[in-house]
Amino acid sequence: MPVDPIGRQRGLTYIALLLVIALHGALLAAAGSVWHTAQKREKERQLLFIGDQFRRAIRSYAQSGPGIKGQLPKTLDELLLDPRFPGVKRHLRKIFVDPVTWNKEWGLVKTPDATAIIGVYSLSDEAPLKTANFQPPDQAFEGAATYADWKFVYKPQ
C-alpha cells in the first residue's frame, strides 16, 4: 500500500494549528490575570484616596463647627451641607462610590454612644492585595483580611 505524503502533512498542519490555538489561549489567560490584578490594585488605590477624603471631611467638620469644637456629623449628608452654618459650608463635594463594590453605601464607624460618625469603611468582604507598606494614617490596615477591615477613622488629637 502506497504512503500518501500529502495526508501526513494535513495531519501535521492540524496538530500545529491546535498547538497555536492552545498557546494563544494560554497567553490570553495570562494577560487576563495580569489585567485583573492591575484593576484590583487600581481599586485599592482609589479606596485609599476616597477613604482619606472622608477622614479629612470628618476632621474638617469637627474642627470648624461654630461654638463647640469637636462636634461630629450624624450622617454622611452633613458632610455635603453642614447644617450648623446658615450659609453653604461643604466638607465634601459628593458621597463617593465605593470603588470595590461600586455602591454608594458605606459602612459607618460610629462613636461609642452611636450618635455620630467618626469614620467609614468598604462593605466588601474581598481580600486585599495590599497588605503592607501603608502610609502613616493607614498603618492599621497592615495584615487586614478584607477591605471591610480598612476603617478610615478620624482620631481627634
pLDDT of amino acid 1:
57
Task: Report whether 143 contacts 131 (CB < 8 A).
Answer: yes
Extents of the domains making up the chain: 40-153
φ, ψ of residue 44 to 5 degrees: the values are -65, -45
The separation between the first and the last C-alpha atoms of the chain, rounded to the nearest angstrom, is 95
CA distance readout (Å), 49 to 22, 23, 79, 151: 41, 39, 17, 13
| Residues forming beta bridges with residue 153, ordered by sequence position | 119
What proportion of the chain, given as a percentage, has pLDDT over 70?
A: 94
**CB-CB contact of 47 with 122 (8 Å):** yes
pLDDT at 3: 60
pLDDT tens track for 76-88: 999 999 988 888 8
Q: What's this model's pTM, rounded to 2 decimal places?
A: 0.81
Q: What is the pLDDT of residues 130-153, one digit of tens each?
A: 999 999 999 999 999 999 999 999
Strands (E), 4-154: 107-110, 117-121, 151-153
Consecutive 10-residue averages of pLDDT for the chain (157 residues): 59 86 91 90 97 96 82 94 88 96 96 95 96 94 96 91
